[in-house]
């Protein structure tokens, strides 16, 4: 006879455990201490098994019957309801453990070896500041597009539209990593791309024209700030290196100084393209380095400073340009464009220029290039370029 709510509520404990059947394998187990437990007896793969549904009255008769019916549906599909329940519990536990922040840090640890230190620091700093505080504690599999969109829009509201789009891309990479790892079912970032504000036309980094270089070099020589900042900017102009590549330069990377083979060998881990980069050192650059050596003392770095990273800050050079009156007129990165334009105009081989700029190849096969490719030609090109800058500084526009 099926059980009733009245019976379940009023049945008393006895000296021994009692089983009261409701049908279909469901029974109420009343223990001597008074506990009333729902159990389902069933057979699977020829074995007798028992499944727990919880404690009465927390689980009422109606809910116990519903759980029994769901278990029998699983049995009809040749699924063990006991194992199915274990898998669900495991999945919930994993979801609780695998928050967005946990998975993002795991993804980050796997990616950072392929990035420069400066880039990896920026990625983690932005995640911590703008994403983790919003959805970091949420199970990654539970995050839906509207929740992610709300997080990204908070960044947009600061008018950081480009940053918002970049962080959405990073979040997308984290979600796709989670999907591949079995920690999430889908990437919600794909559904909100069209909901973000337009970043507007891409701004080109401001670059000086050749006719403006003499005035700039005069202003640089007259700069009253830290002498190392002046020398760092000159290094950028002569070598085409990026700010981070200059900032983290170490003396041990310099080879054969004082000879015609003088070279700056920058390891792959410090380069944006993740390939070793060779920079021929011209006599003008060697003079800059000699002065920097006197200023840096025993430091392993070319540009040491009392900062967290041990070198001049990321903004040191651009702020110097601002103080020189070149805000919106020039950027540090823009010097690379200036050099490229002038060298192209003077007929130098485009491949030499691109290799010296350390631009990553679009073709993945060519990306793994020999770092010494066109080295003699690039050395001659840089010798001409350093002499050209010297001529511009001394007497205006004149071919070297």
Choice among 89, 91, 137, 359 that is catalytic = 359
The catalytic residue among 122, 265, 333, 346 is: 333
User: What is the sign of the dihedral through the CA atoms of 248, 253, 257 and 263?
Assistant: negative
Catalytic residue among 223, 301, 319, 369: 369
Which listed residue (247, 336, 379, 388) is catalytic? 336
Which residue among 242, 247, 355, 379 is the active-site one? 242
Active-site residue 223, yes or no?
A: no
- Let me know if 185 is a catalytic residue: no
Active site residue 93: no
3-state secondary structure the chain: CCCCHHHHHHCCCCCCCEEEEEECCEEEEECCCCCEEEEEEEEECCEEEEEEEEEECCCCHHHHHHHHHHHHHHHHCCCCHHHHHHHHHHHHHHHHHCEHHHHHHHHHHHHHHHCCHHHHHHHHHHHHHHHHHHHCCCEHHHCCHHHHHHHHHHHHCCCCHHHHHHHHHHHHHHHHHHHHCCCCCCCHHHHCHHHCCCCCCCCCCCCCCHHHHHHHHHHHHCCCCCHHHHHHHHHHHHHCCCHHHHHCCEHHHEECCCCCCCEEEECHHHCCCCCCEEEECCHHHHHHHHHHHHHHCCCCECCECCCCCCECCCCHHHHHHHHCCCCCCCCCCHHHHHHHHHHHHCCCCHHHHHHHCCCCCCCHHHHCCCCCCCHHHHHHHHHHHHHHHHHHHHHCCCCC
Asked if 84 is an active-site residue, the reply is: no
Out of 138, 154, 272, 274, the active site residue is 272
238 catalytic per annotation: no
Q: Are β-strands 263-266 and 254-255 bridged in parallel, bridged antiparallel, or unpaired? A: antiparallel
Active site residues: 242, 272, 333, 336, 359, 369
């Amino acid at each position: 006879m099926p059980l009733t709510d009245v019976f379940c509520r009023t049945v008393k404990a006895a000296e021994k455990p009692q089983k009261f059947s409701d049908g279909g394998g469901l029974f109420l187990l009343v223990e001597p201490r008074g506990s009333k437990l729902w159990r389902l007896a069933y057979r699977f793969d020829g074995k007798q098994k028992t499944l727990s549904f919880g404690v009465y009255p927390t689980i009422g008769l109606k809910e116990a019957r519903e759980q029994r019916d769901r278990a029998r549906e699983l049995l009809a599909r040749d699924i063990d309801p006991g194992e199915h329940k274990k898998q669900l519990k495991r999945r919930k536990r994993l979801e609780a453990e695998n928050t967005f922040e946990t998975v993002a840090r795991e993804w980050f640890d796997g990616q950072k070896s392929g990035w420069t230190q400066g880039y990896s620091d920026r990625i983690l700093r932005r995640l911590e500041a703008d994403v983790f505080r919003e959805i970091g504690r949420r199970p990654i599999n539970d995050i839906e597009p509207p929740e992610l969109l709300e997080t990204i829009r908070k960044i947009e509201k600061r008018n950081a539209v480009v940053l918002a789009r970049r962080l959405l891309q990073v979040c997308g990479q984290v979600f796709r990593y989670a999907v591949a790892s079995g920690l999430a079912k889908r990437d919600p970032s794909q559904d909100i791309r069209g909901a973000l504000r337009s970043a507007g036309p891409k701004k080109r980094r401001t670059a000086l024209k050749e006719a403006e270089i003499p005035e700039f070099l005069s202003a640089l020589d007259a700069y009253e700030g830290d002498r190392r900042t002046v020398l760092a900017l000159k290094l950028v102009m002569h070598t085409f290196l990026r700010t981070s590549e200059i900032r983290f330069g170490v003396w041990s990377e310099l080879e054969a100084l004082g000879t015609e083979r003088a070279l700056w060998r920058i390891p792959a881990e410090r380069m944006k393209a993740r390939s070793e980069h060779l920079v021929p050192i011209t006599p003008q650059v060697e003079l800059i380095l000699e002065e920097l050596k006197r200023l840096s003392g025993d430091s392993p770095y070319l540009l040491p400073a009392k900062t967290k990273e041990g070198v001049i800050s990321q903004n040191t050079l651009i702020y110097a340009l601002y103080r020189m009156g070149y805000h919106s007129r020039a950027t540090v990165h823009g010097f690379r464009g200036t050099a490229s334009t002038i060298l192209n105009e003077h007929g130098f081989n485009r491949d030499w220029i691109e290799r010296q700029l350390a631009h990553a190849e679009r073709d993945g096969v060519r990306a793994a290039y020999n770092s010494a490719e066109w080295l003699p030609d690039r050395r001659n090109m840089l010798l001409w370029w350093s002499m050209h800058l010297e001529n511009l500084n001394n007497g205006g526009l004149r071919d070297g």
